[in-house]
Amino acid sequence: MAKVKRAWLAGLMIMMMATPAFARGISLKDGGTALWIFIIIGAIIILLQLIPAGILFFSFIGTTSSMIFRRKAATEEEKAEEKEKVGLPGYEPATVEK
C-alpha cells in the first residue's frame, strides 16, 4: 500500500513540475468567428442562470424574513371575526329541514 501511495505522490509531483514547461500565452487574434460565437453563447448561458438564482435568492429572503417577523398568534375571537369577513355580502348559509 505504501508503494502505491509513493507512486501516486511521485506522479503528482512530476505532473506539477512539467505543467509550466508546456504553458504558453493565449492569443485570440487568430481565433476566428467560431471562437467568438462560442464565447458569446457561453456568456449568454451563464447570464441566463442568474434568473433562477435570483428567484431562489429572493424567495429564501422572503421565507426567512416572514419567519423572523411573524406576528403573534391570533386569539379565537379574532379568528372567528376573520371567518365572518371572508364571506360574500348578502349571502348566508341555507338551512335544510328534514
Q: Does some domain include residue 64? A: yes
CA distances from 25 to 22, 33, 38, 54, 70 (A): 10, 20, 20, 36, 58
Q: Does some domain include residue 23? A: no
By the 8 A CB rule, do 74 and 82 touch? yes
Q: Which domain holds residue 45?
A: 33-70
- Predicted TM-score (pTM) of the model is 0.40
Position 89 pLDDT exceeds 60:
yes
Angle 68-71-77 from CA coordinates, rounded to 5°: 160
Each residue's pLDDT tens digit, 3-41: 888 888 888 777 777 666 666 777 777 778 888 899 999
By the 8 A CB rule, do 15 and 9 touch? no
* Cell numbers at 20, concatenated: 509550466
Q: Does some domain include residue 65? A: yes
Angle 15-20-25 from CA coordinates, rounded to 5°: 140
Q: Does some domain include residue 22? A: no
Q: What's the domain count of the chain? A: 1
Q: Does some domain include residue 76? A: no
Q: Does some domain include residue 91? A: no
